[in-house]
């Protein structure tokens, strides 16, 4: 099975590379190329099309994305070009080759207002530019490809051992605040589910190997606020010897920590159908966190 992967240098891309099944012939792409990766700029729709026509993959796994949620409010054209233009270009080219698209997407396509987990078929209503651009990417691909040629996999709060993510930021802040005896304030009124990239990568590869189609939701099990997640990062990291001690984490509200992009307050994804379809059981997020923290070196804490 031949797979064209985008965003191979990103945190999910790295996890997908680490978990590549032996029967997969992989063409890994990144913005800059190098390190065994082919250069592919997702802003360039004709380059996306050319890559599909040249390699004729069975699957395009589009893990590349413009993921800077707050910055997207200032760069809507760029966010849409990457997050909507690229999946549209891939989908259009795949109508010619017959290959399939695995399009990664996000809980941020929902507004978080319903107060219960979102099922895959529910209507989207993004609050910010990032969510809107990802929703537009889903829509563009759906308009071009039938369900058996398109798998949309939404996830939430992704983090892994490599890359820029909440866990790395919190490890640094725990370290610095504990050392200076300062509290660490973290938002407690946004609820979602942290999702570790190794489990997410397994779900992606399983979906591709099984030829899954339609809209799917994949997250680790359970639910947490950012505050809960920050407390757990401190406790688990300190318990594992990754931190000398955890900082004193204190809850604040979203209003106390204004950001350019509005975020959904309760964006849990109902993953029931996907768990059954893929035959996978996610770990609880805290178990997955402990495994990721084991992979993060203490060196990274001191020199983030």
Q: Which residues are catalytic?
A: 130
Of the pair 178, 219, the CB lying nearest ligand NAP is at 219
Give me the torsion for CA of 49, 206, 277, 163, rounded to 10°: -80
- Choosing from 163, 199, 213, 264, the residue that interacts with ligand NAP (CB under 6 A) is 163
DSSP H or E stretch at residue 100: strand 100-106
Q: How near is the Cβ of 294 to ligand NAP at its closest, in Å?
A: 20
Q: Which is nearer to ligand NAP, 160 or 178 (CB)?
A: 160
The reply to whether 133 sits near ligand NAP by the rule CB under 6 A is no
Nearer CB in complex with ligand NAP: 78/238: 78
Nearer to ligand NAP, 157 or 178 (CB): 157
Stretch that binds ligand NAP, among 46-54, 57-65, 201-209, 245-253 (CB under 6 A): 57-65
Minimum distance between the CB of residue 181 and ligand NAP, rounded to whole angstroms? 31
Q: Which 228-267 positions form the footprint of ligand NAP (CB under 6 A)?
A: none
Contacts of 145 (CB under 8 A, 6+ apart): 91, 94, 95, 100, 101
Q: What DSSP element (H or E) covers 288?
A: helix 285-295
Q: Which of 17, 19, 20, 31 binds ligand NAP (CB under 6 A)?
A: 31
Q: Are strands 224-225 and 191-192 parallel, antiparallel or unpaired?
A: antiparallel
4 binds ligand NAP (CB under 6 A): no
Q: Which residues contact 260 (CB under 8 A, 6 or more apart)?
A: 70, 71, 73, 74
Residues between 66 and 95 with contacts to ligand NAP, criterion CB under 6 A: 66-67, 82
Q: How many CB atoms lie within 10 A of CB 115?
A: 9
Interface with ligand NAP includes 205 (CB under 6 A)?
Answer: no
Q: Which two tokens stand for residue 286?
A: 């805290």
- CB 106, min distance to ligand NAP, A: 4
116, two tokens: 């219960």
Q: Which residue has the tokens 């849990």?
A: 268
Half-sphere exposure of 36 (CA within 13 A, CB side): 8
- Distance from C-alpha of 89 to C-alpha of 248, rounded to nearest angstrom: 48
Contact 264, 127 (CB under 8 A): yes
* Stretch binding ligand NAP (CB under 6 A), from 45-53, 64-72, 139-147, 279-287: 64-72
Interface residues with ligand NAP (CB under 6 A)? 7, 9-13, 30-31, 41-43, 63-67, 82, 104, 106, 134, 155-158, 163
């Amino acid at each position: 099975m031949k797979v064209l992967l985008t965003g191979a240098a990103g945190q999910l891309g790295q996890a997908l590379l680490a978990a590549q099944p032996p029967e997969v012939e992989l063409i890994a792409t990144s913005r800059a190329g190098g390190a065994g990766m082919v250069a592919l700029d997702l802003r360039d729709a004709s380059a996306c099309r050319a890559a599909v026509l040249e390699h004729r993959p069975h699957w395009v796994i589009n893990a590349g994305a413009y993921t800077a949620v707050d910055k997207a409010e200032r760069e809507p054209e760029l966010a849409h070009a990457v997050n909507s233009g690229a999946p549209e270009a891939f989908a259009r080219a795949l109508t010619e080759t017959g290959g399939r698209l695995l399009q990664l997407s996000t809980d941020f396509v929902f507004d978080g207002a319903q107060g219960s987990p979102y099922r895959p078929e529910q209507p989207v209503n993004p609050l910010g530019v990032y969510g809107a651009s990802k929703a537009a990417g889903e829509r563009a691909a759906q308009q071009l490809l039938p369900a058996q040629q398109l798998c949309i996999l939404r996830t939430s709060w992704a983090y892994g051992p490599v890359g820029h993510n909440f866990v790395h930021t919190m490890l640094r802040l725990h370290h610095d605040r504990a050392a200076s005896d300062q509290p660490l304030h973290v938002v407690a009124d946004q609820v979602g589910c942290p999702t570790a990239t190794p489990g997410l990568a397994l779900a992606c590869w399983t979906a591709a190997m099984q030829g899954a189609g339609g809209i799917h939701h994949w997250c680790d099990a359970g639910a947490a606020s950012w505050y809960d997640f920050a407390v757990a990062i401190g406790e688990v990291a300190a318990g594992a010897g990754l931190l000398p001690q955890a900082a004193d984490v204190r809850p604040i509200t979203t209003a106390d920590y204004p950001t350019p992009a509005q975020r959904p307050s309760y964006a849990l994804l109902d993953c029931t159908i996907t768990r059954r379809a893929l035959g996978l059981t996610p770990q609880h997020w805290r178990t997955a966190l402990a495994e990721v923290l084991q992979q993060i070196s203490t060196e990274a804490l001191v020199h983030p």
